Amino acid sequence: MSTTAPTGGPTDRPVDLSTSRPMVEVRGLHKMFGDLHVLKGVDLEVPRGSVCVVLGPSGSGKSTLLRCVNELEEITGGRVVVDGELMGYREVERNGRTRLHRLHPRVVARQRSRIGMVFQRFNLFPHMTALENVMERRCRCAG
Amino acid sequence: MSRPDVVDHDPVPDRIHAVPVPRPGRWISAVVLLVLAVMAVHGLVTNENFRWDVVWLYLRDVVVIRGVGWTLVLTFGSMVIAIVLAVALAVMRRSDNPVMRSVSWGYIWFFRGTPIYTQLVFWGLLAVLYPRLSLGIPFGPEFFEFRTQDVITAFWAAMLGLALNEAAYLAEIVRAGLGSVDTGQTEAAKALGMKDSKILTRVVLPQAMRVIVPPTGNETISMLKTTSLVLAVPFTLDLTYATGAIGNRTFLPIPLLIVAALWYLLITSILMVGQHYVERYYGRGFGDQSAGARRRGPGGRGGRRKPNRQDLIAASGTTKDDPFMEVTP
């Protein structure tokens, strides 16, 4: 694990294209639903500006992996770092031991607002117009 | 371009003008029902015992009209309090916090489980049971003190009694409504980075309203009649008590009951119209009534209503009728 583990920094900064830091970094990701071990130590690095395809049979955990990146699922083990920022947790060093503290839902919401996501079943808001659906993030969530 | 009504010859050369299947059963049943209905109305109107002259006289009586006013105030006041309370109870019921969940459960259990009449009697007796109310630190010093009968008057006892009872029923309706919204909607809102409170007020509740509104309209109409129970408090200005009092004084109870019934009918009819419009508003985006309205387009049916934004977008012709058709497998 890298020594310069990122902590919950400012989230409203624009995406920095000049660095070579990977956009999405997943390290040793485990996800269990009860006794069902879905993701068993997934490592993934998506370089900045690249297009990445996750391919696999049904039920192999593709969606779960994506949902973990977006913190829609609470991960069981490992780290998810997006644009240098640890998702969902804050690393606190005390007595030479690193412990993870869960981030406040408000901060998690701000982290999520920087990640776009299209769902398998789209989940458009049916009570809004198409335009309102598109505008929703910019107007309501960014601030 | 020629319009269909300008064309004077039939564009279909061999148009079918078929004779419909004879349905004598329909005609017979319709006639029988109509005769029965006319008989019922005739029997009602011509019966001397109903004293329609007295009904007409007291229908416009100032005490009766005032009773209508008080009944309306009780109905809407208690419904507003009940709706606010019900949303809070329903959200508490879905909370992760077990204390919130059980308090909400206990409230609904108690107020649904005891008769409204009994509850109203207790609210009326509040001043006897708790002669004084005070504001202060629990089990500690008190800052303000009131005599209960000064604060909780018969009117407020009636209003609170009705509202707290109704909130328990509405809470279950709201809970069902919140549960009816697909979890994907919450997830999509989360993925956009909305806070929990915003997800509730901006995404989940507006869609839940489609499910919540019809039974709530039903409850409002029911509440209108339930206000007649406030004599249990006793609150004596509402429509039922006012007409009943006149009926007893004049020894004409039947016509005064009819007066009350006619007023309740009139208010219910107005409420039904209102409910129709509220339902149509919250049905938007679900292709029930609003889809029909959209196909007619704004100004269709003689511009019966103001077109909404979605109608205008659809009418501009830049979007497909059903944007979901093409992408949903």
Residue at A117 is within a domain: yes
Compute the nearest-CA separation of B24 from chain A (Å).
Answer: 47
Residue at A79 is within a domain: yes
Task: Flag the least confident range among A58-67, A114-123, B185-194, B271-280.
Answer: A114-123
Q: Could you tell me if B132 lies within 8 Å of chain A, comparing CB atoms?
A: no
C-alpha to C-alpha distance for B86 and B7, rounded to whole angstroms: 60
Task: Flag the least confident range among A45-54, A108-117, B278-287.
Answer: B278-287
Does B214 have pLDDT greater than 60?
yes
Per the model's pLDDT, the better-predicted residue between B266 and B289 turns out to be B266
Predicted local confidence at residue B178, as pLDDT: 94
Predicted local confidence at residue A10, as pLDDT: 44
Instruction: Give residue A4's pLDDT band: very low, low, confident or very high (50, 70, 90).
Output: very low
Per the model's pLDDT, the better-predicted residue between B8 and B225 turns out to be B225
Q: How many CB atoms lie within 10 A of CB B304?
A: 9
Q: What's the total number of domains in chain A?
A: 1
- Interchain proximity A141–B194, CB inside 8 Å: yes
Predicted local confidence at residue B300, as pLDDT: 41
Q: Mean pLDDT in chain B?
A: 85
Which of B190, B196, B209, B316 is the mutation pick for testing A, counting most A CBs within 10 A?
Answer: B190
pLDDT tens profile A10-54: 445 566 667 778 899 999 999 999 999 999 999 999 998 899 999
Give the domain extent around A92: 24-141
pLDDT tens profile B180-207: 998 888 888 888 888 888 899 989 998 8
Q: Does the CA dihedral B290-B292-B297-B302 come out positive or negative?
A: negative
Q: For B12, which DSSP code? A: S
φ and ψ at A124, to 5 degrees?
Answer: -65, 155
> Where are chain B's structural domains?
50-297
Does B247 have pLDDT greater than 60?
yes
Predicted local confidence at residue B263, as pLDDT: 95
pLDDT tens profile B23-77: 999 999 999 999 999 999 999 999 988 999 999 999 999 999 999 999 999 999 9
State ipTM: 0.71
CA distances from A86 to A21, A33, A115, B14, B136 (A): 13, 22, 13, 75, 46
Residue at A15 is within a domain: no
Residue at A90 is within a domain: yes
CATH number of residue A59's parent domain: 3.40.50.300
- Ramachandran category for residue B145: left, alpha or beta (phi over 0 → left; psi -120 to 50 → alpha): beta
C-alpha to C-alpha distance for B296 and B278, rounded to whole angstroms: 20
Residue at A123 is within a domain: yes
Compute the nearest-CA separation of A92 from chain B (Å).
Answer: 24
The mean pLDDT value for B244-248 works out to: 94
With respect to CATH, is domain B50-297 assigned 3.30.300.30? no
Does B121 have pLDDT greater than 90?
yes
Residue at A17 is within a domain: no
- Interchain proximity A137–B203, CB inside 8 Å: no
Compute the nearest-CA separation of B195 from chain A (Å).
Answer: 6
Predicted local confidence at residue B14, as pLDDT: 85
Task: Flag the least confident range among A58-67, A110-119, B311-320.
Answer: B311-320
Does B12 have pLDDT greater than 60?
yes
**Residues B192, A142: contact at Cβ < 8 Å?**
no
